[in-house]
Amino acid sequence: MTDNKKWIYGRDVVNETIGRLMIPFIQLFALYVIIHGAGGPGGGFQGGVILASSFVLYLIIFGLAAAGKRFPERANNYLMSTGVYLYAGVGLLCVVVTLGAVQFLNYGYLPLTHMFEENRALGMDLVEIGIGITVCAVITEIFFNLVWKQEDETESGKEGGE
Amino acid sequence: MKQISVGALLFVLVLGALFVYVAEDIPDFGDPNSAPNRYTPLFTLDATGSVDVLNQGNVPEALIEALTDRGFRDYELPTSVKGLTEGEWDAYLVPEETYYNIPTAKFGTAPDAPKEQKYFYLKQEGDKLEVYRYAPIIRYVEEGEHETEVPNMVTYILADYRGYDTLGETTVIFTAGISVILLLRRRGKQPT
């Protein structure tokens, strides 16, 4: 797909302006929801979906080629598994640093601070970040792949018709 | 046609009656102190002799025997009793989980003494002593905030007490992403 290929739904100056204005704020809000999952309403799942919705909005407004440049598929592949690895890695770290004395996912023994309870809070934050990364990457992946499929079918349909 | 509508009406009425019958037993929504949300009844005992022992803060032999007869294991037997009001007591025990309370000079200060938890709730009804078992959620609701230093109850239950569950959920979402890649991605021609 070339860059100057037109997005099938056309372009609109209103959409592009509003999108440029809103997307940074949506992403900032998503990061706030993920980080603030421990202190208020929010968490990894919700924040990840909000972050993914900003990419979905970008794709709808600017088209597949531009969105693919901003959020490349290769990075997406890695991000999808990075979140799960981060979660399981935090859990495994608890076992490793205490040489197998505590259970998997027992955050209190992470070597972060010297307070048992603070360690649990920080471990929860790390885990929420992992969840957020995975959810964001997967939702974006699903939407991008559906759009690719759609474009593919419209292209081949046109070629067949002509 | 008429038979079908009469049958449907009867069916709806029966369903409604069934719902009303079932809804009688549903506790008030969101009330943490309604009995099924807080504790479940186990059995009743003869209160004679037990009440004085309970008031002195000791566990009566009859209670230990009754619990052992009903298959409670050694670490599930109460070790101390605390009085709440007249005729109501909490029975405490040290649960099995405390074996990982290892000294951690290097990895942070863990609670060094084994932590007692309230496990049974005893109530005097006339000359009978009713024994209840606290729901596990009571510990999360009452102890969770100062055990984890996180004010959000949903987060600390989801990510800490139920960490395995959330790891599984994340894996399910990851699997969904993998299947979408396998099913929809174009082969050979890489977009962008």
How many alpha carbons lie under 13 Å from residue B147 in its C-beta half-sphere? 15
> What's the pLDDT score for residue B28?
67
**B107 has a pLDDT exceeding 50:** no
Residue B51 C-alpha, separation from nearest chain A C-alpha, in angstroms:
38
A82, A116, A155, A156: best to mutate for the B interface, most B CBs within 10 A: A116
Determine the average pLDDT of the residues in B70-74.
85
Output the six-digit token pair for B178: 């993998």
Which has the higher per-residue pLDDT, A148 or B191? A148
Mean pLDDT of B35-47: 82
- Compute the 3-state secondary structure of chain A and give helix, strand, coil in percent, each to the nearest 5: 75, 0, 25
Q: How confident is the model at residue B109 (pLDDT cuts 50, 70, 90)?
A: very low
Task: Grade residue B59 by pLDDT with cuts at 50, 70 and 90.
Answer: confident
**pLDDT tens digits for A30-52?**
999 999 888 888 888 999 999 99
- Contact call for residues A120 and A100 (beta carbons, < 8 A): no
Whether the model pTM is above 0.80: no
Structure tokens at B96: 């099995």
What is the predicted pLDDT for the residue at B51? 84
pLDDT digits (tens, 9 = 90+) for A142-160: 999 888 888 777 777 665 4
Closest CA to A53 of A154, A162, A126, A132: A132
- Joined together, the tokens standing for residue A4 give 């100057």
Whole-Å CA distances, B136 to B70, B125, B132: 19, 25, 13
ipTM: 0.86
The confidence score (pLDDT) of residue A162 equals 40
User: Which pLDDT belongs to residue B47?
Assistant: 81
Q: Does the pLDDT value for residue B152 go beyond 70?
A: yes
Which among A77, A102, A146 has CB closest to B100? A102
Lowest mean pLDDT among A16-20, A109-113, A127-131, B111-115: B111-115
Q: What is the domain partition of chain B in residue ranges?
A: 21-135, 150-186
Report helix, strand or coil for B190. coil
Taking contacts as CB-CB distances below 8 angstroms, the residues of chain A near B110 are: 108-109, 116
- pLDDT, residue B99, reads 47
Looking at residue A7, its pLDDT comes to 59
What's the mean pLDDT in A113-130? Answer: 88
Interface residue ranges in chain B relative to chain A, Cβ cutoff 8 Å:
100, 102, 104, 106-111, 146-152, 154-156, 158-160, 163-164, 166-167, 169-171, 173-174, 176-178, 180-181, 184-186, 190-192
What's the pLDDT band for B146 if we cut at 50, 70, 90? confident
